[in-house]
Structure 1
């Protein structure tokens, strides 16, 4: 499945506006541990490997050419099985954990988040507040056909605009904000590579 998402700031009454006619699903605590090697090879190619509450996931871009593009929404394929992740990262071995160790891929950031989730038809909304004081909202839709990406992006934009919620390409996601605050060298590498410059970063 392809995940099309737009992030937006939690300012004023944005949370109330976007969730007013949405169904509350859950509130939970999420711990994300992000992985990369010493040269930041994965994140510099916009690949985000994390262990979320003990389960590995990989978000990899649908099209690398969208870096530094005019698209407001980001489009990722999310892989959730060890075999899929190993294939996408060209790793070999008897399992994901040993393969990561063998390739010197190790944790570089841990982000703890309180997440409130809502649903509006096929649109999923997350309201995230981190343990380092950052808050952000995200609206997304899962699609199976790449030809639906532009249509889906417009659907998300219309949903936000109808509720008078401002958003921009440059609004930082929580991982990017964490790196900007705690690992500025890594952050600037990502900006120079076009991974988070003028885009909705993770």
Structure 2
């Protein structure tokens, strides 16, 4: 399992011009559509779990716990998530979160818990759209955000791969990401240092944490959900 460590930044034409000069290789452009799912009462996102379907492929981003504590400035500018891409593991993780919540309820929740157990026993990795729809229905998961992104990607070598993505969402928000993927339990400080070095070469100064696409989307289109996440200190 991998951990995604990234820093978001606001980019412009001048910064795009810097990428080739610092050794970044252009690796292509693509467009994709994301759908994000949660229960009606936001059980997943209020625990900082983000369930996404991107062009038919499922991913669950989970809070990452590192063995080291970075300095406050670095911690404020970077996010860290474990990435789960195995569909059975995603089902198991989601099951655990929902079951933990329903277990605190009354016996009236027993039928829901039984249905969750039944669904989570499926082991198939190839999930057709109908099966996925049924799984979402059984877990009472609904789509709360959907948008398309145009992405241009670059790759650098900084004692390991550093990826830079420049995203333009279809609701008008543009944001860049400096990303390092590392194995779970790896050297978090080393990953943070590679991100910090790349940011310095791009001329990014210390600043407040830049909002991601999801934060801006929720702020604009789902203000109640956004407010709950702010109150829970997730965003």
User: Under a length normalisation based on structure 1, what TM-score does the superposition of the two structures give?
Assistant: 0.87
Structure 1 Cα separation of the partners of residues 18 and 232 of structure 2:
35
- Total equivalences in the alignment: 193
Matches within 5 A, 1:119-138: 119-121=155-157, 122-138=161-177
User: Which sits farther off after the overlay, 13-22 or 110-119?
Assistant: 13-22
Structure 1 Cα separation of the partners of residues 6 and 233 of structure 2:
18
Structure 1 Cα separation of the partners of residues 211 and 149 of structure 2:
15
Q: What residue number does 1:106 align with?
A: 142
Q: What residue number does 2:217 align with?
A: 178
Whose radius of gyration is greater, 1 or 2? 2
Alpha-carbon spacing, 1:107–1:167, altered in 2? closer, same or farther (3 Å) = farther
Q: Is the 8 A contact 2:82 2:184 kept in 1?
A: no
Structure 2 Cα separation of the partners of residues 4 and 185 of structure 1:
28
Structure 1 Cα separation of the partners of residues 63 and 17 of structure 2:
31
- Work out which of the residue numbers 174, 178, 197 in structure 2 matches 1:139: 178
Q: Which runs of 5+ in 2 are unaligned?
A: 96-115, 125-130
Q: After TM superposition, give the deviation of residue 159 of structure 1 in Å.
A: 1.2
Q: Is the 8 A contact 2:152 2:167 kept in 1?
A: yes
Q: After TM superposition, give the deviation of residue 12 of structure 1 in Å.
A: 5.6
Q: What residue number does 2:29 align with?
A: 27
Segments of 4+ in structure 1 off by > 4 A? none
Structure 2 Cα separation of the partners of residues 99 and 182 of structure 1:
26
Secondary structure in structure 2 of the residue aligned to 1:40: coil
The alignment's C-alpha RMSD in Å is 2.1
Matches within 5 A, 1:72-111: 72-90=77-95, 92=117, 93=119, 94=122, 97=132, 98-111=134-147
User: Under a length normalisation based on structure 2, what TM-score does the superposition of the two structures give?
Assistant: 0.76
Q: Deviations over 1:66-115 (max 9, x none)?
A: xxx93121111111121110122225413672332112111011021000
Matches within 5 A, 1:5-20: 5-11=6-12, 13-20=14-21
Q: What residue number does 1:162 align with?
A: 201
Q: Which runs of 5+ in 1 are unaligned?
A: 197-202
Q: What residue number does 1:200 align with?
A: none
> Where is the helix percentage greater, Structure 1 or Structure 2?
2
